């Protein structure tokens, strides 16, 4: 296999060295499994030739950007080829007048926004991992970020994609127009497909004008339910903030410990931002303050100072990693980490999650992009004890049951892959047959990221090796 791949991309870009295979066998999830080989194509033609070869030989191919996925999305369940697309990092066309930018799949989110800034535009989905995650990974996971409540998720910005099918055939899906009504929207089907239907090599993405100004605020609540109510009442009042987040006490403590931000040590805080022109911002901020006060906020702080706003923003964007400093010996695991529920259910579900944590003897924090009903939880466990993993598994199952029971979904932005697949299959039971048919149509030999989503094992804990030093 090495010989054929080397003939396609050159020696410099192929490695079957055990060290590379080991490193590429892991992402930001709990899972780990080694590929047989890593290949780093630089052109669409190379991708096409690699897939043609792999398809003929029925070798699994797993696309990979930064490998920052948290559900095992880029972990090669069945070995095979890792297709690292980071070399394909060219920005091909910037067309502010047509409101789009065309890029290769390996372009990094923040780099794209750096280049777009002088044009007065940005690519709006803004994941916390933006400094390293690639457009291909964002599309394949339908990534979103804090500002999705106003600007939408990646799917809302995808106008067109160039895709390489498992057979090696290259397809252009979608358009360069802002609207389209011309048949099946294959580009949309690719969004969230996690590398199981085709390899995204190029994306035409919608541009959003950069807002002129913004203000930010933090409201403190003595009750988590008050924070939850405030969030849904803000949305119900017809206000569209540019972000609307909440954090529970475990999250607040971690951020304070790591970043010295002195966030109020209350049961929950709501963080909000409004952007646009000053008059609108001030009007909306006043309305948000009013709603928060009515819902029992004990203190509200608003700022338009860039330095202060950056600190608040930092606190939120560093929250996930800050959790790792919560307590010595406990590690943050990426499990049950990004459910979405109807906005009105946030408080209820968050409180239930805390009860579940207590029952299963794990530390859990809840926080999230409340404006979109997104609940992040982080499970902290001592990873060395097998029993703790069993506790975590039970907690995860209960959390998903709760989420599904209120009409929520197991993944709002990180994708399903391995760790969420058992519960995803329950949530989407009625659609599984169709999912299988779609997969078969696109990838008859099942070479593209096999063993994920509907095809993943029913026990995520035994699906792969676990990356932590489990002792017994």
Partner 1 sequence: MNMPNAKKYLNEMSNCIRCAYCFADCPTFTNFMWDSNSARGRIMIAYGMLQGEIPLTETAVEREFLCTLCGQCEVKCSAGIKILDVIKATRKDLAESGNLPESHKAMKEVFNEKENIYGEDQFIPEKIENSAEYIVFGGCVGNFRENESLVKSHKLFEKLGIKFTRIPEVCCGGVFADLGLDAPEKLAKKNIDAILSTGIKKIIFTCPKCFMTFKEDERYSELREKGIQMQNIVEVLRDKQFEIKFDKKVTYHDPCDLGRHEGIFNEPREVIKKVASNFKELSKNKDQSHCCGSGGGVRGAYTKLSIQIAKGRLKEALDMEAEVLLTECPSCLHNLRNAKKKRDNIEIKNISEFIYDLIEGEK
Ligand X SMILES: Cc1cc2nc3c(=O)[nH]c(=O)nc-3n(C[C@H](O)[C@H](O)[C@H](O)COP(=O)(O)OP(=O)(O)OC[C@H]3O[C@@H](n4cnc5c(N)ncnc54)[C@H](O)[C@@H]3O)c2cc1C
Nearest Cα neighbor of 61 from 48, 80, 78 is: 80
Give 41 or 174: the residue with its C-beta nearer to partner 1: 41
Q: Which does 204 bind (CB under 5 to 8 A by kind): ligand X, partner 1, none?
A: none
Query: Taking the complex as a whole, how short is the minimal distance between the CB of residue 97 and ligand X, in angstroms?
Result: 27
Asked whether the CA dihedral 312, 340, 449, 188 is positive or negative, the reply is: negative
Give 140 or 274: the residue with its C-beta nearer to ligand X: 140
How far apart, in whole angstroms, are the C-alpha atoms of residue 39 and residue 213?
44
Q: Show the binding pattern over residues 128-147: x = contacts ligand X (CB under 6 A), - = does not.
A: xx---xx-xxx-xx-xxx--
Tell me how crowded residue 132 is: count the other CB atoms within 10 A of its CB: 16
Query: Taking the complex as a whole, how short is the minimal distance between the CB of residue 132 and ligand X, in angstroms?
Result: 7
Q: What are the structure tokens assigned to 190, written together?
A: 């690719």
Query: Taking the complex as a whole, how short is the minimal distance between the CB of residue 179 and partner 1, in angstroms?
Result: 36
The footprint of partner 1 (CB under 8 A) covers 15, 17-20, 22-24, 26-28, 38, 40, 66-68, 84, 86-87, 108, 110, 129, 131-133, 258, 317-318, 320-322, 324-325, 328-329, 331-332, 334, 383, 467-469
Using rule CB under 6 A, residue 419 touches ligand X: no
Using rule CB under 6 A, residue 103 touches ligand X: no
Query: Taking the complex as a whole, how short is the minimal distance between the CB of residue 32 and partner 1, in angstroms?
Result: 9
Using rule CB under 6 A, residue 315 touches ligand X: no
Q: How many residues bind ligand X (CB under 6 A)?
A: 37
Collapsing DSSP to helix, strand or coil, 442 comes out as: helix
| Cα dist from 361 to 43, 158, 250, whole Å | 50, 42, 15
| Cα dist from 359 to 287, 332, 387, 406, whole Å | 39, 19, 14, 21
Please give the residues from 434 up to 453 whose contact with ligand X meets the rule CB under 6 A.
449
Q: Show the binding pattern over residues 44-73: x = contacts ligand X (CB under 6 A), - = does not.
A: ------------------xxxxxxxxx--x
Query: Taking the complex as a whole, how short is the minimal distance between the CB of residue 67 and partner 1, in angstroms?
Result: 6
Q: Which does 1 bind (CB under 5 to 8 A by kind): ligand X, partner 1, none?
A: none
How far apart, in whole angstroms, are the C-alpha atoms of residue 170 and residue 30?
34
Cβ pair 20, 50 in contact under 8 A: no
Q: How many residues does the chain have?
A: 472
Among 8, 103, 200, 300, binds ligand X (CB under 6 A): 200
- 117 DSSP 8-state letter: G
Strands 363-368 and 297-303 come out as unpaired
Strands 81-84 and 37-39 come out as parallel
Phi, psi of 166 (to 5 degrees): -55, -35
How far apart, in whole angstroms, are the C-alpha atoms of residue 458 and residue 456?
7
How far apart, in whole angstroms, are the C-alpha atoms of residue 262 and residue 277?
29
Q: Which does 429 bind (CB under 5 to 8 A by kind): partner 1, ligand X, none?
A: none
Q: What is the dihedral of CA 65, 67, 72, 76, to 10 degrees?
A: 70
Q: Which does 324 bind (CB under 5 to 8 A by kind): ligand X, partner 1, none?
A: partner 1
Query: Taking the complex as a whole, how short is the minimal distance between the CB of residue 403 and ligand X, in angstroms?
Result: 17
User: CA angle, corner 267, sides to 381 and 30, nearest 5?
Assistant: 20
Q: Which does 134 bind (CB under 5 to 8 A by kind): partner 1, ligand X, none?
A: ligand X
For tokens 């035994």, name the residue.
462
Among 199, 230, 302, 403, binds ligand X (CB under 6 A): 199
Stretch that binds ligand X, among 94-102, 127-135, 250-258, 385-393 (CB under 6 A): 127-135
Binding site for ligand X (CB under 6 A): 27-28, 62-70, 73-74, 85, 105, 127-129, 133-134, 136-138, 140-141, 143-145, 194-195, 199-200, 320-321, 413-414, 449
């Amino acid at each position: 296999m090495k010989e054929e791949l080397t003939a396609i991309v050159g020696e410099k870009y192929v490695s079957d060295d055990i060290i590379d295979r080991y490193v590429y066998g892991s992402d930001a999830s709990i899972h780990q499994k080694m590929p047989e080989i890593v290949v780093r194509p630089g052109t669409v033609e190379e991708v096409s030739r690699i897939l043609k070869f792999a398809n003929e030989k029925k070798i699994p191919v797993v696309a990979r950007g930064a490998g920052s996925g948290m559900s095992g999305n880029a972990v090669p369940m069945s070995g095979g080829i890792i297709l690292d697309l980071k070399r394909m990092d060219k920005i091909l066309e910037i067309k502010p007048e047509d409101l789009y930018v065309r890029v290769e799949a390996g372009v990094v989110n923040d780099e794209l926004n750096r280049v777009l800034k002088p044009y007065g535009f940005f690519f709006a989905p803004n994941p916390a991992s933006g400094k390293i995650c690639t457009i291909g990974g964002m599309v394949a996971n339908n990534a979103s970020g804090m500002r999705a409540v106003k600007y939408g998720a990646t799917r809302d910005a995808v106008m067109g994609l160039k895709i390489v099918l498992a057979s090696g055939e290259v397809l252009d899906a979608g358009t360069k127009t802002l609207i389209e009504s011309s048949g099946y929207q294959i580009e949309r089907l690719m969004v969230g497909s996690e590398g199981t239907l085709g390899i995204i090599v190029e994306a035409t993405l919608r541009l959003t004008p950069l807002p002129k100004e913004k203000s930010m605020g933090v409201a403190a609540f003595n009750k988590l339910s008050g924070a939850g109510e405030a969030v849904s009442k803000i949305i119900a009042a017809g206000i569209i903030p540019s972000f609307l987040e909440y954090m529970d006490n475990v999250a607040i403590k971690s951020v304070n410990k790591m970043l010295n931000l002195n966030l109020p040590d209350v049961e929950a805080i709501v963080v909000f931002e409004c952007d646009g022109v000053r008059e609108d911002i001030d009007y909306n901020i006043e309305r948000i303050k009013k709603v928060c006060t009515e819902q029992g906020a004990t203190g509200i702080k608003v700022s338009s100072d860039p330095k202060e706003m950056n600190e608040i923003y930092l606190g939120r964007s560093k929250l996930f990693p800050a959790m790792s400093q919560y307590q010595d010996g406990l590690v943050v695991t990426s499990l049950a980490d990004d459910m979405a529920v109807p906005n009105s259910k946030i408080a209820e579900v968050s409180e239930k999650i805390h009860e579940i944590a207590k029952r299963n003897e794990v530390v859990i924090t809840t926080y999230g992009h409340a404006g979109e009903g997104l609940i992040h939880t982080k499970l902290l466990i001592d990873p060395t004890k097998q029993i703790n993993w069993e506790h975590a598994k039970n907690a995860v199952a209960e959390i998903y049951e709760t989420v599904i029971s209120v009409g929520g979904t197991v993944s709002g932005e990180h994708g399903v892959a391995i760790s969420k697949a058992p519960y995803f299959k329950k949530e989407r039971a009625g659609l599984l047959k169709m999912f299988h048919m779609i997969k078969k149509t696109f990838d008859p030999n099942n070479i593209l990221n096999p063993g994920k989503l509907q095809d993943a094992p029913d026990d995520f804990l035994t699906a792969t090796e676990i990356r932590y030093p489990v002792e017994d």
